[in-house]
Amino acid sequence: MIERLVNLTWILVGGGAAVLSWRIGLTGQYGPDSGLFPFVAGLLVCAGGVGLMLTRSNAVTGLEWPDRTGWRRIGGVLAGLAFMAASIPYLGFAVAGVITMLILLRTVEQSSWRSSILLAVVSVAVTLGLFGYLLGLQLPRGPWGF
């Protein structure tokens, strides 16, 4: 099911890109225009999707997806990262990082609150110290100044 969905995505993405590239223009006064290369690539992606959809030999046999616990862990990682990406501009790296770490440690590993808070604070402080201060990388700051 998912494999068919992925193949369909290739067909739609490739086909869509080819149409948009055609509109940009394939050839100009001095040879190929901006649309030619993406047009060819789009056609190939689309053709790849069609080929994969039609041939059974390319399909994965014995595909294993995670069990319920596995999905919970994966969901926890994705939720943590999504939270961090969304909150960094408002909370700054330090606070967003600690909250993300807590989400990860509580949902993925179901660690105790105490060890989760300790590990989250220590690892974010080390990251901030190493990259933010020692190596001089500018990490976003929140309204609290860190």
Partner 1 sequence: MEAISGLMTGFGVILTPSNILLCLLGSFVGTMIGVLPGIGPLAALALLLPVTFSLPPVAGVVMLAAIFYGAMYGGSTTSILLNIPGEAASVVTCRDGYQMARQGRAGAALGIAAIGSFVAGTLSVIALTFFAPVLGVIALRFGPPENVALMVLGLVCTLYMITGSTLKGLTMIALGVLLAMIGIDVVNGQERFTFGSINLTGGLDLLAIVIGLFGVSEILANVEKITKNALIAEKIKGLFPTREDWKASLAPMLRGSGLGFLLGLVPGGGPITASFISYAVEQRLAKDPSRFGKGAIEGVAGPEAANNAAVGGGMIPVLSLGIPGTPVTALLLGALVIQGIQPGPLFMQQRPDLFWGIVASMYIGNVFLLILNLPLVGLWVQLLRVPYRVLFPIVLMLSVVGTYSANKNVFDLWVMLSFGVAGYVLRKLEYDLAPFLIAFVLAPLLEQSLRQSLVMSPDGIMIMVQRPIAAGLIAIAFVLVALMIRRGLKPQETGGLINEIRQ
Residue 57 sits in the site that holds partner 1 (CB under 8 A):
yes
Contact 43, 51 (CB under 8 A): no
Cα–Cα distance, 88 to 98 (Å, whole number):
11
Residue 127 sits in the site that holds partner 1 (CB under 8 A):
yes
Phi, psi of 141 (to 5 degrees): -105, 150
Phi, psi of 11 (to 5 degrees): -65, -45
Beta partners for residue 32, in sequence order: 27
Cα–Cα distance, 146 to 14 (Å, whole number):
44
Between 74 and 145, name the residue whose CB sits nearer to partner 1: 74
Residue 117 sits in the site that holds partner 1 (CB under 8 A):
no
Residue 112 sits in the site that holds partner 1 (CB under 8 A):
no
Restricted to residues 63-92, the positions that interact with partner 1 (CB under 8 A) are 63, 65-66, 70, 73-74, 76-78, 80-82, 84-85, 88-89
Between 74 and 144, name the residue whose CB sits nearer to partner 1: 74
Single-letter residue type at 125: A
Cα–Cα distance, 146 to 140 (Å, whole number):
8
Helix (H, G, I), strand (E, B) or coil at 1: coil
Q: Which residues bind partner 1 (CB under 8 A)?
A: 2-3, 6, 10, 13-14, 17, 20-21, 24, 28, 30-35, 37-38, 40-42, 44-45, 48-49, 51-52, 55, 57-58, 60, 63, 65-66, 70, 73-74, 76-78, 80-82, 84-85, 88-89, 93, 97, 100-101, 104-105, 108-109, 111, 119-120, 123-124, 127, 131, 135-140
